[in-house]
Amino acid sequence: MPRGPVMEAATLRPMFQARRYQHCPTCGGQIEYRVPADDNRERATCTQCGAIHYENPLNVVGTLPVWGEQVLLCKRAIEPRLGKWTLPAGFMELGETLAEGAQRETVEEAGARIELENLYCVMNVVRVGQVHLFYRARLLSPDFDPGPETLEARLFHEHEIPWDEIAFHTIRETLQRFFDDRRSGRGYPLHTADIS
Ligand SMILES: [Zn+2]
């Protein structure tokens, strides 16, 4: 199943307690959050088989593809934020590098041909246990072939960006920083941010 870049904050606890498990993936038993011996935080512990399922942050990786003055956005065909606009991005897979993940997501979601440029934005989204990483990318053609997770892929000038229809906070941040950097003419240094 495809997963959106950010879990809905409303389903989470105020401090980071994403608690992905209710049932044990091994035996289906009930999960309780307990502090195991020799540990210092609560872990998903199976009340039936005793297995401990560790939960750690996930990387969401994507690109900011540029064609001349325009940037590529994708209209989401899936929840969460169905119908909202995003940069091509998704969960990194095992067996790939950050750059490979960014390339793959761009092909899968937009069917876009790109040449990756620098790693541009690294944002901690502690509340949902994710790190979002975006590369700048140069589009090799303005032709797209959106995949099943995308309703539409198209290019936008800065003044056309549907700021009220952007799917996720980190997408808005990345776009704003890009347009600011472009206006300043000082290049595109790596940006880091903590998103609360
Ligand atoms: Zn179990």
What is the pLDDT, as a whole number, of residue 40?
94
CA of 52 to the centre of ligand 1 (A): 8
Who's near 58: CB < 8 A, 6+ residues apart? 91, 92, 129, 130, 131
Q: Collect residues with CB below 5 Å from ion ligand 1.
A: 24, 26-27, 29, 46, 48-49, 51
How open is the CA angle 177-183-189, to the nearest 5 degrees?
A: 45
CA of 177 to the centre of ligand 1 (A): 45
Q: Which domains does the chain have, with CATH numbers?
A: 11-56 (2.20.70.10), 58-194 (3.90.79.10)
CA of 54 to the centre of ligand 1 (A): 13
CA of 27 to the centre of ligand 1 (A): 4
- pLDDT tens for the 196 residues of the chain, in order: 344 444 433 333 334 556 789 999 999 999 999 999 999 999 999 999 999 999 999 999 999 999 999 999 999 999 999 999 999 999 999 999 999 999 999 999 999 999 999 999 999 999 999 999 999 999 999 999 999 999 999 999 999 999 999 999 999 999 999 999 999 999 999 999 999 8
CA of 30 to the centre of ligand 1 (A): 7
Q: How far apart are CA 147 and CA 111, in angstroms?
A: 7
CA of 191 to the centre of ligand 1 (A): 42
Q: How far apart are CA 136 and CA 132, in angstroms?
A: 13
CA of 17 to the centre of ligand 1 (A): 20
CA of 37 to the centre of ligand 1 (A): 18
Instruction: Tell me the two tokens of residue 175.
Output: 């776009």
What is the pLDDT, as a whole number, of residue 164?
98
Q: What pTM, to 2 d.p., does this model score? A: 0.86
Instruction: Tell me the two tokens of residue 80.
Output: 């969460």
CA of 20 to the centre of ligand 1 (A): 15
CA of 49 to the centre of ligand 1 (A): 4
What is the pLDDT, as a whole number, of residue 14?
39
